[in-house]
Amino acid sequence: MDVLVPTLATRSNLALSYYHLGRIEEALRLQREVYTGWQILSLSSQLREAVGDCLTISVGNLTEILIAAREFEEAQSLAREKLPEIIDRHGPDDILTLEVRTWYARALFLEGEDLSEAENVLEDVWRRSKRVLSDSHPDTERARKFLEDVRSARADAAEES
């Protein structure tokens, strides 16, 4: 574990660097490996508590990169599967919980499957983010922007019908 944790953290940072450079496929491959590594470490009862935050961060990172790779169904599935555990561990107002919920809603929106659910999730995330983080926090602003995108798409769809 002494070497594995810093290695996974470094590889996660590298995956995010690839992502920000637009090298999405490399980022996705590497972040999947990192996520798997944290999952394996979390199976140990002795390590579960120590790596829990890292696993949650990895879920958020992987979900975001999956969306960039246009793998919306996989992003939704991952977030949907892990959110109950994340909420149990961190609570509904934790920044990590809010981030994963934001990316889950974004995946719903971009796939165009359930705009109503995306809007409901983002309204709740935005409300909680304003209270917990502040109106000007970047995560609050991101939730607000994503919520505006969903509302605009719903208004456009209503006009067309």
Same domain as 153, residue 105? yes
Q: How confident is the model at residue 113 (pLDDT cuts 50, 70, 90)?
A: confident
Q: Indicate the pLDDT class of residue 1, thresholds 50, 70 and 90.
A: low
51: left (phi over 0), alpha (psi -120 to 50) or beta: alpha
Domain boundary at 37, 69, 101, which? 69
43-97 pLDDT per residue, tens: 886 777 778 889 999 999 999 999 999 999 999 999 999 999 999 999 999 999 9
102 with 150, same domain: the answer is yes
Rounded to whole angstroms, the Cα distance separating 30 from 123 reads 32
The number of folded domains in the chain is 2
Domain end (from 69, 93, 114):
69
Same domain, 3 and 60: yes
**Does residue 79 contact residue 97 with C-beta atoms inside 8 Å?**
no
The per-residue pLDDT for 52 is 83
Q: Which residue has the tokens 């971009």?
A: 110
CA separation for the pair 76, 125 (Å, rounded): 16
Find where tokens 């659910």 sit: 117
Tell me, yes or no, whether 60 and 101 share the same domain: no
CA 59 to chain centre: 6
Is residue 67 a contact partner of residue 110, using CB atoms and an 8 Å limit?
yes
Do 62 and 87 fall into the same domain?
A: no
Q: pLDDT tens-digit profile of 10-47? A: 999 999 999 999 999 999 999 999 999 999 988 886 77
Are 57 and 104 in the same domain?
A: no
